[in-house]
Amino acid sequence: MSRSANAIGALQRDAVVSSVSASGSQRREEEETLLDKVLERHVVDPKARRLVSHRGRNKLILYAVLLVIILLIAGLVLFTILAKTRDTVQVDAAWGSYRGSQELVEGGLECYSFLGIPFGNATGGALRFQRPQKAGHWMHQTASGSAPCLQQPVRLGNFSVLDAAEQGSEDCLRLNLWTPSITAKDLSVLLFLHGFQFYYGSNSQDSLRGELLSALGNLVVVVPNYRLGPLGFLSANASEAPGNLALYDQRLALDWTRENVRYFGGDPSRLVLHGYEAGAVSVGYHLLSPLDHWVKSVRSALSWARAAFPSQLLPDAIHSKDVLLGTVSGEGVVLAELYVSRSRINLSELLSAYGVLDAPQLVALYASQWDNRTGTLALAKQILGDVLFSCPVQYLAEQLSSSNNRVHNYVFVHKPSFSAWADPQAAQYEDLDFVFGVPLRRGLGTPEEQALSRRLIQLVAAFAKDGQVLVHCWRSRDRALPRLREGGEWPEFHGLDNDTVEITLNGFSLASVASRAEQCRQIRPHLIY
């Protein structure tokens, strides 16, 4: 029984092994059959099928290895980028030590940002209505920016100058600085003065972030705050309120820049002043200042400048400067929408408030030349644009060009796709978006608008570096735009018909401004400047 049992057990084991072996063999045959079905469209010979099967497995292994390598490289790159965006740097300068951050912008370009650098002490209490005092030497963490100077909340189109919940601060004399390199020594420096009628604005506006202008233009960009409204301009003709304090704030920011920018890669002898609206007027005041020891090497880039200073002072006061002047096609859009359309303010009263003589007669002059079918709002836009902006820039360009200054003039006519204004013309501040790279940073613009933004950054950078305005000819429908050849220099303004450049989405071309010049000559007797 024992031997018989053992024999039966052995037979059972052999049967199990045979069954397992047969099962495994059957699975292999099924797998090969399945593989044959997959390959049968491409391989006929059985030997070739086995060869392809072997190669296919090798390829799968190779692809898996390559995928792992790619994922590792991508992870390393991402880690490097994140590490760089978190990097902090410290600069020891003449007025203090400042900590900033390093970041990567478009195209992987590096930019260092230093936000909220104090250049003046707080202006409250006993220092209110007094000239600013130089900030003390200290270590400052420049990460969160600075509070705006005291002002009322306001929104103009895309600009929310101040949130309704905040009113600003009297500890606001701070500047933001961006630089592509802290080890360079010869970078041009662009100091930008913000606008908004001397009542509003600050360097904390999102549209005035300078990292793209700095990185793409290879410039040091400086944007300071200054006091506004009565706190910046109230004058009692006494030591208690000497007046024009905002201009002294700006001058102190200029002093800080001259004495400290070399530690941020900039060359203080290559300083360019760039202002917009009220900021452009401020640039003019500084160039008129008898205290010109700190602006001897300044080139001014005035954008949307209002000639708020007496023209008889210009010939002798400003000379041997490189000047870039600009306007937009719809200079009167914002004021007309805000005051005439929304607030229902009488146009003649508004013009009188801005210092226009015989305002009703001026309105009648325009009305006699106007097509009534376009409506009174369109008339208001034209009058306000001419009287307050376009014509003053025309007068300023004529005066400066006759006084040994090299002047370049442009008009920006492209209507942004992301505009907040319904008017088909380009409104105030909309060209500024392109100079500071807003279409690139926010992804708001079309690819063509992003290209235009890069072009304007290059234009400003070229002017800042050597006073030259070089325009690389663009092509529209495979046809070169007229008159501005590839690499050609922007024409100097001499008051002729074809020396103003028109900026459109398709490029730069020479524009005829004879009709505007004639209109400006007609209305000049009504203006006080």
User: Which ranges of 443-500 would DSSP assign to H, the alpha helix?
Assistant: 447-466
Note the pLDDT of residue 66.
74
What pLDDT score does 508 carry? 84
Q: Which domains does the chain have, with CATH numbers?
A: 93-328+391-510 (3.40.50.1820)
CB 397 within 8 A of CB 495: yes
Residue 302, CA atoms < 13 Å, CB-side half-sphere? 31
Which pair of structure tokens corresponds to residue 371? 């097509």
pLDDT digits (tens, 9 = 90+) for 212-221: 999 999 999 9
Coil, strand or helix: which one is 429? coil
CA–CA distance, 202 with 195 (Å, rounded to integer): 8
Model confidence at 482: pLDDT above 70: no
Residue 76, pLDDT score: 58
- Please tell me what DSSP assigns to residue 313: G
Give Cα 259 distance to the centre of its chain.
Answer: 25
Q: Does the global pTM surpass 0.85?
A: no
Strand partners, 266: 187
What stretches of 317-457 adopt beta strand conformation (E)?
322-328, 406-412
Q: Which segments within 415-499 are labelled E, that is strand?
A: 470-471, 475-476, 479-480, 488-489
Q: Which of 175, 170, 118 is nearest to 149 (CA)?
A: 170
Confidence of residue 459 (pLDDT cuts 50, 70, 90): confident
Nearest to 177 by CA among 113, 118, 134: 113
**Cα separation of 328 and 195, whole Å?**
15
Q: Is the pLDDT of residue 17 over 70?
A: no
Residue 94 is classified by DSSP as: S
DSSP letter for 119, please.
-
CB 216 within 8 A of CB 439: no
Which segment of 32-36, 150-154, 166-170 scores lowest on mean pLDDT? 32-36
Residues 43-55 have a mean pLDDT of: 50
Per-residue pLDDT, 162: 57
**Hey, what's the torsion of the CAs at 336, 341, 343, 349, to 10 degrees?**
50
Question: In DSSP terms, which residues pair with 479 in a beta bridge?
Answer: 476
What's the pLDDT at 404? 84
**What mean pLDDT value characterizes the chain?**
79
Chain length of the chain: 529
Q: Is 170 left (phi over 0), alpha (psi -120 to 50) or beta?
A: alpha
Separation between Cα atoms, residue 267 and residue 264, nearest integer Å: 9
- 110-118/174-179 β-pairing: antiparallel
Torsion angles phi and psi, residue 42, rounded to 5:
-110, -25
Does pLDDT of 65 surpass 80? no
The model's pLDDT over 382-439, given as tens digits with 9 standing for 90+, comes to 999 999 999 999 998 888 888 888 888 899 999 999 998 989 999 999 999 999 999 9
Distance CA 507, CA 485 (A): 12
Tell me the three state secondary structure of residue 98: strand
**What is the predicted pLDDT for the residue at 56?**
59
> What pLDDT was estimated at residue 160?
54
Give residue 50's pLDDT.
52
Q: Give me the residue label for tokens 């390959």.
A: 39
Calculate ∠ Cα 340-345-351, nearest 5°: 85
